[in-house]
Each structure stands twice: as C-alpha cells, then as structure tokens.
C-alpha cells in the first residue's frame, strides 16, 4: 500500500464521518433556510478547473471516493436552518450553533407584496454573525426563535422599504 493510498483512506474516512455528522444535524431541522447554491457551484468549479488543468489523479481509486464524498458533503452542507436544539449552519468550519450562544437577532422582511421571504442575522457573544435566508414570513421565524432563545436575547424586526 502506497502513501497516497493511505492518505486517501484517512481523508475518505474523515469526510465520511463529517458527512454523517452534518446529515444528522440536517435531519433535526424544524425550520429550513433556503438552500445555499454557492456551496455546490464553487466546489464543482474547483473540481472542473483541477480536471481541466490536469491536477487531479483520477486513476487513484481512493481519490475517486474522495471526490464523491467531497461532492456529498457540499450537497449536505448547503442545507441550514433552525432545529429544536441548535441552529444548523451552512459551512465547513462551524456546523451548529447553540441557542444560548446567540445574543442578538436581526430579522428583516421584504416590502409587502414580495412574498414569504425573510433574512435572519444571528450574532454571537464572540461578535460573529451568521446569516440565513428563509422562505417564510419573518413573523414565523420570530415565533420560532422566541420559543428557543434565552429570554435576554433581543430580536430586532425590520422591514425593507
């Protein structure tokens, strides 16, 4: 067994574990946010460029499994929303956020007549802000957050236009 094969086996196991972890949290969603298409477009573009420039080792079986798992994790990571225990984020480096970490929420609704769309900005005590878009009215998202956030968290409702 070569070093490359061992490397791909380790990476494949780690990616499979991460995909399972992400899939678990995705299954707990009660209020889904809009699908984040950029989480798929950019990795596919990266793979296409790597293939076009002949950087990818397509002949290595471990690499083919890696590509399949990479695309799977991109598909799973594009899903985010609000769960019963945590906020499920879209991204690789931080997948979930506990409700007790949120200190401020800004909910923004579109002008009347646009439809059921809302934007939520969740701020943590570390001054990190996570954005989520919903195909729900801001009032629905507001009610859900009221049930799950600590009582001291301020929720600022805004209207565009």
User: Domain residues of the chain, as ranges?
Assistant: 3-81, 99-159
CB 59 within 8 A of CB 66: no
Enumerate the β-bridge partners of residue 70: none
Would residue 40 be called left, alpha or beta, if left means φ above 0 and alpha means ψ between -120 and 50 degrees?
Answer: alpha
Which tokens hold the place of 81? 């929303």
**Quick one: which of 49, 82, 43, 100 has its CA closest to 66?**
43
pLDDT, average across residues 61-77:
87
pLDDT, tens digit, for every residue of 86-143?
999 987 767 789 999 999 999 999 887 777 889 999 999 999 999 999 999 899 999 9
The alpha carbon torsion through 126, 17, 23, 138 (nearest 10 deg) reads: 10
pLDDT, tens digit, for every residue of 23-39?
898 888 999 999 888 88
Q: What is the predicted pLDDT for the residue at 47?
A: 87
Instruction: Tell me which residue has tokens 């957050």.
Output: 145
Q: What is the predicted pLDDT for the residue at 110?
A: 86
pLDDT over 70 for what percent of the chain?
99
Q: What is the predicted pLDDT for the residue at 3?
A: 79
Q: What is the predicted pLDDT for the residue at 103?
A: 96
Which tokens hold the place of 86? 């945590």
Q: What is the predicted pLDDT for the residue at 59?
A: 75
d(CA 114, CA 130): 24
Q: What is the predicted pLDDT for the residue at 5?
A: 79
What's the Cα-to-Cα distance from 98 to each of 1, 59, 82, 95, 142, rounded to whole Å?
43, 42, 10, 10, 17
Q: Which carries the bigger pLDDT value, residue 153 or residue 95?
A: 153
Q: What is the predicted pLDDT for the residue at 58?
A: 74
């Amino acid at each position: 067994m070569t070093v490359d094969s061992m490397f791909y086996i380790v990476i494949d196991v780690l990616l499979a574990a991460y995909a399972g972890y992400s899939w678990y949290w995705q299954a707990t969603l009660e209020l889904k946010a809009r699908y984040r298409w950029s989480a798929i477009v950019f990795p596919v573009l990266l793979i296409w460029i790597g293939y076009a420039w002949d950087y990818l080792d397509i002949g290595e079986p471990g690499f083919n499994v890696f590509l399949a798992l990479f695309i799977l994790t991109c598909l799973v990571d594009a899903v985010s929303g609000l769960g019963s225990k945590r906020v499920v984020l879209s991204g690789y480096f931080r997948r979930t956020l506990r409700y007790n970490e949120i200190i401020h929420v800004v909910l923004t609704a579109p002008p009347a007549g646009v439809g059921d769309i809302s934007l939520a900005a969740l701020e943590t005590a570390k001054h990190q802000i996570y954005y989520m878009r919903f195909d729900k009215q801001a009032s629905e998202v507001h009610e859900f957050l009221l049930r799950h956030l600590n009582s001291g968290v301020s929720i600022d409702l805004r209207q565009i236009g």
